[in-house]
Amino acid sequence: MIDLEGVTKHYEVGPVLVTALAGIDLHVDTGEFVVVLGASGSGKTTTLNIIGALDVPSSGKVTVGGRDLTTSSRSELFALRRETVSFIFQSFNLFPGLTATENVEFGMDVSGKSGSAEPADILDSVGLGHRLGHFPHELSGGEQQRVAIARALATGNPVLLADEPTGELDFKTGAQILELLAEQANQDRAVLVVTHNREISRMADRVVEMSSGQIISDGPPEGGKTPLSELRW
Amino acid sequence: MWLFRLRWSLRDARKRWIQIVAIGFTLAIGIGLYAGLSSVTQWRLASIDKSLEATSMYDLRATVGEGGDVPAGSLARIASEIDGIDRYNERLLFDTQVETVVEGEELLVHGRIVGMDLSGGEPVVNDVYLIDDAARPVSHSATPQVLVNRGFSTFWDLPASGELTVGGDVGVDYVGSAVSPEFFLIIEGNGSLGRSNLAVLFAPLDAAQDISGRSGVVNDLVLTLEPGADAAAVSQQLIEAAASTDGVLLDVLTREATPSYIGLTGSPEIDQGIYNAISLLLFAGAAFAALNFSARMVEAQRREIGNSMAIGEHPRTIVVRPLLIGLQIGIIGMILGVAVGYAIAFQTVSVVQEVVWLPIFEQSFQAGIYAQAMALGFAVPVLAVLWPVLRAVRVRPVDAIRSSHLASRGGSLGPIISRIPLPGRSLERMPFRNLMRAPRRTFLTLLTFTMSLAIMFAMLGLGSTFTATLDDGNEELLGGEPDRFTVQLDSFYPVNSPQVQDVLTHPTVQLGEPAMVLGADVTAAASDDTADPIRLDLAVRFVDFGSTVWTPTATEGSLSPRSPGIVLADKAARDLGVGVGDDVTVTHPALVDGAFTYSTRTVGVAAIHPHPLRLNAYMDLSQASTWGFGGLANIVTGVPADGSSLNDVKRALFGSGTGVTLVQGLSETFQSLEDSLEQSSSVFVITRIFVIFLVMLIAFNTANINVDERSRDHATMFAYGIPVRRVIANLSVEGLLLGVVAVVLGGLFGYALLLWMALFLMPTAVPDVGMIVSVRWWEMAASFVVALAAIALAPMFPGRKLKKMFIPGQLRVME
């Protein structure tokens, strides 16, 4: 589903050339729940942005859903974001003018899946069946993130990309969110979660650890996959 | 600390300089229009005073009545014997026809020759001011020399000097152009003569006498009074002395009662009422816009303010940075405002000068007005930034730094409105939702658009109202004959006299009808004697109500041949407060035993006619006998015979030597009115351009700030694959929604404003005219489409910003 071959990314910050990614290779299949772990500046968010076609690599090849992003046109990249990948952001990024239901409808509308499911059912599946008509500012942080997940799920896209999805949440709420994301992998989606929280990585199928723009390890979590109930942060 | 803050705010300004300049410019248009339009009157009044002083306009003008004259020197002798008179000059004035060729086309217009002292020796009353150092006409030259009134020469773009034909066959040389205070603004012939169709020629007295064939006579005296002299007493003494010594009736006119003086001096102040209404509304619109935009710009920094509070900064110092942004906007607004104001005032005065040219024109800087406008303009952005800052510092720091707190909750109304269910897909609903979630912001933006569009609507409406008023007047008078004309005779003649019959039977004339026009003073008969009743000077035309050629249209009541009633213009009836069946008191000239006198009688109002000019009143020709003018006529109306043009008629009749003083197409009847309206409305043309510009600026600012405020929303949309064009389309739809509502509201308020200006303000500026409010819908629709297009296309400008957005950066940005 996701293939990165020799991907590099350089930024020019004034006269300085900063290397965000130094030639990484990564393959993620559908049904995988992968946590990309790393400290700030390790290149994990850049990786996520490149997979999500929000950013372009300086070199290397990126294939998502069978589409080579490095040779795709701007409109093809937009189409990929509509049809293949869906984002979940640390700060939720819900549309403040739309209700929870409408935010979910947005996901369905952009991917052309309107009518395929009821937004209320999707919100119900994330435990928000009672908050349908609420606006983002009327919801707690955890609820907002669940709406964001529902919006991403509503697209029906096979790749879910989450950037620090629990970063603004308390442990209990964060755990609920992770559980939701893990469930998506069981539904044949490739789920990529970016975090700096090592504890979270213990519940992943696979942990990709990054440092200084390189993948320094890639495999099952140390000590094996841990149930959510045993995690603490 | 202050320097540090200033540096920081300048950095902010550099980042947002387009926005700051755009808001400043929005404000500048408001300041400029306010200051510029307010200055116009000051300039004009000062210039008028100085121009009148430089040319020594008369305090009193005495004219020998009924076309008579007296030997030269007799009026001067009378004046010399009356106390209180400072200076005086005799003149000979008479009407004629002036003919010339302009760009290969024959021009044949009514003319007036003013015979006066043009020697340039002793200063004279009502002197001429020579344009471009024109030569003075020489007395006793072989071909009479004259000066042409500047209004006429510029209207027709005459060469600096040339030849004219007057009275049908007398050639004169004009040696230049000049103006005289009596003709700075031409309001003659009951409003039918203006600068385009009245050629005033200033001639040496002897030349005027030669041209008219009235050697050694004068018929007019202009004089100035000594300080403190009683004008009424001097007038009375003049009248009595002339009656006893020369046996003539003098008509004495004060400077203040002279129509051109009234039009000249009254108009600027009345115009100012219109300017004030427009400028205040536009200033309010621009100020609201600046207030809204400045506040929104600062609101976008609320998280930064929260951060400052979180690190313990005192609210007093937190206020400084946003306040400096407000100051920057205010300063830009003030500087550009002065430039805009000066440009507006200069342009306005230039246009006014086209119609009313003054020899002395002083465009002084009205410091007080500008200071007032600048102070207001400066206060607006400062207040605008204070409000959101004060709101922000009241929030708990812990809330302020939370990103969710930044989402507008729309006060108490927002959540209620936001819950209104909407059809369509989520993306289609988004523009509506964005407007609904912040009603205060939406309302303010809407208000700014509405105010601007209302003014644009009102100004366009005034233009079409003027046109409709003139067109309706023409239509009423012409009765389907575009070349219908009136022939004015130099006296009253029996209808079977050669003078009248020559006109009626002239080969160039058909459908001729004799008629009579007499000036009359009309009041409502029921008016209380103790009060000051409204008194109108009307021109009563005696026409045959049974005519098959032309009769006035009766919109109320009916025209009955041989009935004694008077037919009043709708405006006159309204001003007098009378209707059909009511009585009016008419004081009119009467011919008793061959002598002219004045008589007062009560006459019933038989009908109301729709002509917009209130001075036109009608009575059946049979009623002329009750005034002592039975069987007489002083005008003849008709249409050119087949194969003859109006110019043919003019030339043939004026040169026929049968007492014809004026042949005029009835379509020219509104010339001076057109001039007055042009003078009053000239400012609208300039203001309209600025209004459209203001709408565009508001649209640009709205779109720009929307893009800045919603950068995270837009980044999220891009992350979900929504193309840039769709985001721009959504912004355009949002703008269009506002625009459509603003057009509807602007149309309604604009119409109300138009009614107010046309029915309340204009009647004071042009009291003789009953405005016919009219709106050219296609013109309005076209303007609104342009405004809507500007609003809808405005998001294209920040479109580049959207295209170049670094999406990951915005997705993580909390602001």
> Does the beta carbon of B398 lie under 8 angstroms from any beta carbon of chain A?
no
Q: What ranges in A17-169 are assigned the alpha helix state H?
A: 44-51, 74-83, 100-110, 119-125, 141-154
Q: Which residues from A are below 8 Å from B437, CB to CB?
A: 96-97, 135
Helix (H, G, I), strand (E, B) or coil at B493: strand
Q: Is residue B362 part of a domain?
A: no
> A81–B437: do the CB atoms touch at under 8 Å?
no
The minimal CB distance from B719 to the residues A87, A90, A136 is found for A87
Q: Is the per-residue pLDDT at B772 higher than 90?
A: no
Q: Among the three residues B609, B644, B679, which one is the final residue of a domain in this structure?
A: B644
> A109–B427: do the CB atoms touch at under 8 Å?
yes
The minimal CB distance from B425 to the residues A46, A83, A114 is found for A114
> Does the beta carbon of A73 lie under 8 angstroms from any beta carbon of chain B?
no
Lowest mean pLDDT among B142-151, B217-226, B620-629, B646-655: B646-655
Token pair for residue A175?
Answer: 């755990």
> Does the beta carbon of A167 lie under 8 angstroms from any beta carbon of chain B?
no
Q: 3-state DSSP helix/strand/coil percent for chain B, to nearest 5? A: 55, 20, 25
The minimal CB distance from B712 to the residues A93, A99, A102 is found for A93
Q: pLDDT-derived band of residue B406, with 50, 70 and 90 as boundaries?
A: very low
> A78–B723: do the CB atoms touch at under 8 Å?
yes
Same domain, B596 and B638: yes
**B757 class by beta-carbon count within 10 Å (0-12 exposed, 13-18 middle, 19+ buried):** buried
The minimal CB distance from B404 to the residues A78, A105, A136 is found for A136
Q: For the residues B132-158, what does the mean pLDDT come to?
A: 89
Spatial distance between the Cα atoms of B699 and B701, rounded to a whole number of angstroms: 6
Q: For the residues B720-734, what does the mean pLDDT come to?
A: 91
The minimal CB distance from B415 to the residues A46, A49, A135 is found for A135
Same domain, B592 and B551: yes
Q: Which residues from B are below 8 Å from A79, CB to CB?
A: 721
> A97–B430: do the CB atoms touch at under 8 Å?
yes
Q: Which residue in A9, A51, A93 has the most chain B C-beta atoms within 10 A of its own C-beta, making it the best mutation to test that interface?
A: A93
Q: For the residues B111-124, what does the mean pLDDT come to?
A: 90
Whether the Cβ atoms of residue B72 and residue B89 lie closer than 8 Å to each other:
no
> Does the beta carbon of B409 lie under 8 angstroms from any beta carbon of chain A?
yes
Task: Name residue B39's amino acid.
Answer: S
Looking up tokens 């004068």 gives B218
Residue A88 CB partners (closer than 8 Å, separation 6+): A145, A148, A149, A152, A160, A161, A162, A163, A165, A181
Q: Which phi-psi region, left, alpha or beta, contains residue A31 (left: φ > 0; alpha: ψ -120 to 50)?
A: left
Same domain, B316 and B393: yes
Same domain, B784 and B702: yes
Spatial distance between the Cα atoms of B129 and B228, rounded to a whole number of angstroms: 27
A and B: number of Cβ contacts within 8 A: 102
Distance from CA of B267 to the nearest CA of A (A): 53
Spatial distance between the Cα atoms of B188 and B262, rounded to a whole number of angstroms: 12
Task: Name residue B470's amino acid.
Answer: L
> Does the beta carbon of B815 lie under 8 angstroms from any beta carbon of chain A?
no
Same domain, B531 and B607: yes
> Does the beta carbon of B403 lie under 8 angstroms from any beta carbon of chain A?
yes
Closest to B774 (Cα-Cα) out of B477, B455, B462: B462
Spatial distance between the Cα atoms of A217 and A210, rounded to a whole number of angstroms: 7
Q: For the residues B94-104, what does the mean pLDDT come to?
A: 85
Token pair for residue B803?
Answer: 């295209």
Same domain, B107 and B229: yes
Closest-CA residue of chain A to B434: A97
The whole-number pLDDT of residue A10 equals 93
Helix (H, G, I), strand (E, B) or coil at A30: coil
Q: Among the three residues B582, B611, B644, which one is the final residue of a domain in this structure?
A: B644
> A141–B436: do the CB atoms touch at under 8 Å?
no
Q: Are strands A159-163 and A190-195 parallel, antiparallel or unpaired?
A: parallel
Q: Is the per-residue pLDDT at B814 higher than 50?
A: no
Q: Is residue B121 part of a domain?
A: yes
Task: Name residue B218's amino acid.
Answer: V
B416-468 pLDDT tens trace? 666 777 788 888 888 888 888 888 888 888 888 888 888 888 888 888 888 88
Lowest mean pLDDT among A23-32, A110-119, B549-558, B739-748: A110-119
Q: Among the three residues B628, B644, B660, which one is the final residue of a domain in this structure?
A: B644
Residue B340 CB partners (closer than 8 Å, separation 6+): B28, B29, B31, B32, B33, B36, B690
Q: Is residue B662 part of a domain?
A: no
Q: Which residues from B are below 8 Å from A138, CB to CB?
A: 415
- The H or E element that residue B222 is part of is strand B220-225
> Does the beta carbon of B804 lie under 8 angstroms from any beta carbon of chain A?
no
Q: What are phi and psi of B480, to 5 degrees?
A: 85, 0
Same domain, B272 and B181: no
Helix (H, G, I), strand (E, B) or coil at B678: helix
Residue B118 CB partners (closer than 8 Å, separation 6+): B128, B136, B137, B139, B147, B202, B203, B204
Q: pLDDT-derived band of residue B657, with 50, 70 and 90 as boundaries?
A: low
> Does the beta carbon of A175 lie under 8 angstroms from any beta carbon of chain B?
no
Q: For the residues B359-381, what does the mean pLDDT come to?
A: 81
> Does the beta carbon of A93 lie under 8 angstroms from any beta carbon of chain B?
yes
The minimal CB distance from B430 to the residues A75, A87, A95 is found for A95
Considering all CA atoms of chain B, what is the largest pairwise distance in Å, rounded to the nearest integer?
Answer: 105
Domain count, chain B: 4
Whether the Cβ atoms of residue B452 and residue B615 lie closer than 8 Å to each other:
no
Whether the Cβ atoms of residue A52 and residue A161 lie closer than 8 Å to each other:
yes
- Report DSSP state, residue B761: I
Spatial distance between the Cα atoms of A202 and A231, rounded to a whole number of angstroms: 8
Q: Which residues from B are below 8 Å from A49, CB to CB?
A: 807-808
The minimal CB distance from B408 to the residues A96, A114, A144 is found for A96
Q: Which residues from B are below 8 Å from A133, CB to CB?
A: 419
Supply the Cα-derived Rg of chain B in whole angstroms. 34
> Does the beta carbon of A136 lie under 8 angstroms from any beta carbon of chain B?
yes
Task: Name residue B750's amino acid.
Answer: G
> Does the beta carbon of B777 lie under 8 angstroms from any beta carbon of chain A?
no
Task: Name residue B420's amino acid.
Answer: I
Spatial distance between the Cα atoms of B596 and B21, rounded to a whole number of angstroms: 72
- The H or E element that residue B164 is part of is strand B162-166
Q: pLDDT-derived band of residue B488, with 50, 70 and 90 as boundaries?
A: confident
Token pair for residue A206?
Answer: 């696979």
Q: For the residues B82-92, what does the mean pLDDT come to?
A: 94
Distance from CA of B319 to the nearest CA of A (A): 26
Q: Which residues from A are below 8 Å from B417, CB to CB?
A: none
Q: For the residues B72-88, what does the mean pLDDT come to?
A: 93
Token pair for residue B813?
Answer: 């940005």
Whether the Cβ atoms of residue B166 and residue B96 lie closer than 8 Å to each other:
yes
Closest-CA residue of chain B to A132: B419
Q: pLDDT-derived band of residue B254, with 50, 70 and 90 as boundaries?
A: very high
Q: Is residue B654 part of a domain?
A: no
- Report DSSP state, residue B256: G
Q: Is residue B58 part of a domain?
A: no
Lowest mean pLDDT among B244-258, B305-319, B559-573: B305-319
What string of pLDDT tens digits covers the 233 residues of chain A? Answer: 899 999 999 988 778 888 999 999 999 999 999 999 999 889 999 999 999 998 899 999 999 999 999 999 988 998 999 999 999 888 888 988 888 999 999 999 888 877 778 889 989 888 888 989 898 888 988 899 889 989 998 998 999 999 988 887 787 778 888 888 888 888 889 999 999 888 888 888 899 999 999 999 999 988 888 887 777 76
The whole-number pLDDT of residue B677 equals 65
Distance from CA of A11 to the nearest CA of B (A): 12
Token pair for residue A193?
Answer: 């979660």
Q: Which of A212-221, B284-293, B523-532, B556-565 has the highest mean pLDDT?
A: A212-221
Q: Which residues from B are below 8 Å from A114, CB to CB?
A: 425
Q: pLDDT-derived band of residue B404, with 50, 70 and 90 as boundaries?
A: very low
Q: Which residues from B are below 8 Å from A165, CB to CB?
A: none
Token pair for residue A97?
Answer: 């003018």
- The H or E element that residue A181 is part of is helix A171-186
Q: Is residue B263 part of a domain?
A: no
Q: Give the rounded percent of residues in chain B with a pLDDT score beyond 70.
A: 91
B671-709 vs B267-299: helix crossing angle, rounded to 10: 10
Q: Is residue B343 part of a domain?
A: yes
> Does the beta carbon of B404 lie under 8 angstroms from any beta carbon of chain A?
yes
> A52–B403: do the CB atoms touch at under 8 Å?
no
Q: Which residues from B are below 8 Å from A162, CB to CB?
A: none
> Does the beta carbon of A112 lie under 8 angstroms from any beta carbon of chain B?
no
Same domain, B583 and B567: yes
> B716–A141: do the CB atoms touch at under 8 Å?
no
Looking up tokens 């600025």 gives B690
> B408–A91: do the CB atoms touch at under 8 Å?
no
Q: Which residues from A are below 8 Å from B720, CB to CB?
A: 81-82, 86-87, 106-107, 110, 155
Q: What are phi and psi of B15, to 5 degrees?
A: -70, -35
> B419–A133: do the CB atoms touch at under 8 Å?
yes
Closest-CA residue of chain B to A152: B720
Spatial distance between the Cα atoms of B167 and B98, rounded to a whole number of angstroms: 7
Please list the residues that pair with B507 across neighbouring strands.
none
Q: How far is CA B474 from CA B132, B510, B540, B547, in A?
A: 37, 20, 18, 19
Residue B1 CB partners (closer than 8 Å, separation 6+): B317
> A93–B433: do the CB atoms touch at under 8 Å?
no
Interface of B with A in 417-446 (CB under 8 A): 418-419, 425-427, 429-430, 433-434, 436-437
Domain that holds residue B528: 484-644
Looking up tokens 């152009």 gives B177
> B408–A80: do the CB atoms touch at under 8 Å?
no
Q: Which residue in A21, A106, A108, A145 has the most chain B C-beta atoms within 10 A of its own C-beta, making it the best mutation to test that interface?
A: A106
Same domain, B81 and B214: yes
Q: Is residue B694 part of a domain?
A: yes
> Does the beta carbon of B411 lie under 8 angstroms from any beta carbon of chain A?
no
Token pair for residue B736?
Answer: 């269009």
Same domain, B175 and B121: yes
Whether the Cβ atoms of residue B27 and residue B381 lie closer than 8 Å to each other:
yes
Helix (H, G, I), strand (E, B) or coil at B393: helix
Q: What letters, b where the CB count within 10 A reaches 16 and e where it falls short, cover B145-163?
A: bbbbbbbbbebbebeeeee
> A135–B418: do the CB atoms touch at under 8 Å?
yes
Domains of chain A: 2-230 (3.40.50.300)
Same domain, B552 and B538: yes
Spatial distance between the Cα atoms of B151 and B263, rounded to a whole number of angstroms: 15
Give the number of other Cβ atoms within 10 Å of residue B48's Cβ: 22
Same domain, B541 and B591: yes
Q: What ranges in B55-97 are assigned the alpha helix state H?
A: 74-80
Spatial distance between the Cα atoms of B711 and B204, rounded to a whole number of angstroms: 79
Q: Are strands B129-130 and B170-179 parallel, antiparallel or unpaired?
A: antiparallel
Q: pLDDT-derived band of residue B234, with 50, 70 and 90 as boundaries?
A: very high
The whole-number pLDDT of residue B641 equals 93
Spatial distance between the Cα atoms of B181 and B359, rounded to a whole number of angstroms: 9
- Report DSSP state, residue B796: G
Considering all CA atoms of chain A, what is the largest pairwise distance in Å, rounded to the nearest integer?
Answer: 53
